[in-house]
Chains A and B, each alone.
Chain A
Amino acid sequence: MSAATGSVRFTRGLGFSLLALGVALCASLALGAGDVTPLQVLRWALGDDDGNVGFVVTELRLPRSCVGIVVGAALGVAGNLLQTVTRNPLAEPDLLGVSAASTTAVVIAILLGASVTTLQVWVAVLGAMCGCALVLAAARLRGVGDDPIRLILAGAALKGVLTALVSLVLLVDQRSADEIRFWTIGALAGRGYGELLGVAAPLLLGVLLVAYLSRPLAALALGERVASGLGHRPRLTRWLTLLAVALLSGVAVALAGPIAFFGLVVPVLARALVGPDIRRTLPLCVLLGPAVLLAADVVARLLVRPSELPLGVVTAVIGAPVLVAVVRAHRLPRL
């Protein structure tokens, strides 16, 4: 008798995720829509610099990859948190309309004249918070024994309304249409360190919250009464978790816009690797999220060279089959 099997599995999962992230990061630095080839990048890395290659890698691809890492980790963790707190394997920021609410808030802020990134982050967080509140109220969530599908339906309704609202703004207001179009589908293109700095504060707050929440959330997975019996405060835990989801989704939206299905895929992968305990799946999501996001971003850059696809299109194409697979599974896994 020992804790061996669990921790061996965790170590293995962690190793695999690190490897995946390493490969994805290398691919993200080496491959792009432009002319710089992997071979040139390799030569540059070995010290054979011809000027242009170094610029493309350090000034374009590296910042973009860093943004991808933050967005991937934030969305992966937010998805995991939402799934755990709603005990619903289908919950994730995009499907529940949380990202859409965040986006809508930013669009409204732009309409009203806001253009500073730092402001947009907090607007995005606030929007995400409203989204959480709306969709949970609509599904009348009490945390236990709720129908997973009902929550998703409430999210789909919310998302539909908000998407229509943003489209309306796009049609009516030509002046800000270009600026707004970026927010209607997720993309990493053109984002860099400046934007990262702008989201640092809410990101840090979210990370601290998650660190605090991992233990009570793990207990909450055993049921509200059991968690109380172990000395936790389930209501407080749930509210703080929604706050963390809002912070992280807001950060992701502020950086890259709404990215479809992403928060669904990553926790499913993490659970498949290390089992259901959130104290194991959270660190894994931090690694797997960026790995999957960077991989999707590389695909987005390569598919229609020399042009690019928006990242949100690629994640939707990858994520939709995963959603169907989860729904069609013999039965939904209990969380």
Chain B
Amino acid sequence: MSEFEHDRAQRATLEASGIAMDYGHRRVIERLDLRLPEGKVTAIVGPNGCGKSTLLAGLARLHAPSAGVILLDGEPIYSLAPRDVARRLALLPQEANAPDGLTVLELVQFGRQPHQGWLRQWSEEDQRVLDAAIRAADLVELADRPLESMSGGQRQRAWLAMAIAQTTPLLLLDEPTSALDLGHQIEVFELIRSLSEEGGKTVVMVVHDLVSACRYADHLVAMLDGRIVAEGTPTEVVTPELVRELYGIDCRLVIDPLSNSPILTEIRRCRS
């Protein structure tokens, strides 16, 4: 039995078709189509302000598109009940903040809320899932520690454990490693990988760093000015031309012989 409680047979598809999204009067995303590959890790990359976080918010039922439709298992996600969505799709927003004194265990318990109700309080099943989520995120020794006393990487693993406890086939992450140093970044990315590989989850993450995205994602979605400019496996997609288009830098690409993913070298700003 895997540590990951998500039932492999349970699948959920998430797709956006012809969506446009606005912030106030400003159009952030224009006519975008996206279908997320099931059971894979998808990374959305692009320069600041390209609309990647907005797209994620749209997919997570946080920000309704002004045109087009987002489908969860073929149903328009914005006409589903929030709790119904929360049983199929877990979300980790950027800069999630917990009140002082909250312990890891208490945080992870929140992941069970979509499965509870007036009459259905904490059950043995909840406890089993909770224990498994804490084991999966390697937090057994830290379970009773308050979050503010832990390192950034540990804290982020605790938030991920909450999402794991939600036992959803889909997991959406907004810059899960943004405030972390390199060691902690890898600690978090490796957990995300294992959620997909061993847990069978479909993961979508907005990632700032292109190299990490290549290293840890199966599928790359490159965005610029509210559009998808390239999509596919990292080795297919990432070219010096794309890097120049996205970030305005010149570089050379080499393939890392161990991970088989592209690495950028000789980076410098475009002269043109």
Contacts of A212 in B (CB 8 A): 118
- Known contacts A222-B98, A333-B100, A334-B97: A229-B90 contact under CB 8 Å: yes
Does B96 have its Cβ within 8 Å of any Cβ on chain A? yes
- Partner-binding segment picked from A1-9, A58-66, A134-142: A1-9
Does A228 have its Cβ within 8 Å of any Cβ on chain B? yes
- Partner-binding segment picked from A213-221, A249-257, A295-303: A213-221
Bound Cα distance A292, B106 (Å): 29
- Known contacts A1-B140, A215-B116: A226-B83 contact under CB 8 Å: no
Q: Interface residues of A, CB < 8 Å — how many? A: 26
Q: Interface residues of B, CB < 8 Å — how many? A: 39
Partner of A275, one of B62, B83, B101, B131: B101
Contacts of A233 in B (CB 8 A): 82
Partner of B93, one of A221, A226, A231, A335: A226
The 0/1 profile, CB within 8 Å of A marked 1, for residues 73-103 of chain B is: 0000000011111110111110011111111
**Are A228 and B106 within 8 A (Cβ)?**
no
Bound Cα distance A221, B96 (Å): 10
Chain A, range 1-45, C-beta contacts under 8 Å to B: 1, 3, 5-6
**Are B99 and A276 within 8 A (Cβ)?**
yes
Bound Cα distance A198, B92 (Å): 47
Chain B CB count within 10 A is highest, among A221, A228, A277, for A228
In the A-B complex, the 3 residue pairs with the smallest Cβ-Cβ separation, listed nearest first, are: A231-B86, A229-B91, A231-B83
Q: Which residues of A contact B (CB under 8 A)?
A: 1, 3, 5-6, 212, 215, 218-219, 221-223, 225-226, 228-233, 271, 275-277, 333-335
Question: Could you name 24 residue pairs across A and B whose Cβ atoms are closer than 8 Å?
Answer: A1-B144, A3-B109, A5-B103, A6-B103, A6-B144, A212-B118, A215-B116, A219-B113, A222-B97, A222-B110, A223-B93, A225-B91, A225-B93, A226-B91, A228-B62, A228-B82, A229-B62, A230-B113, A231-B85, A233-B82, A276-B99, A276-B101, A334-B100, A335-B99
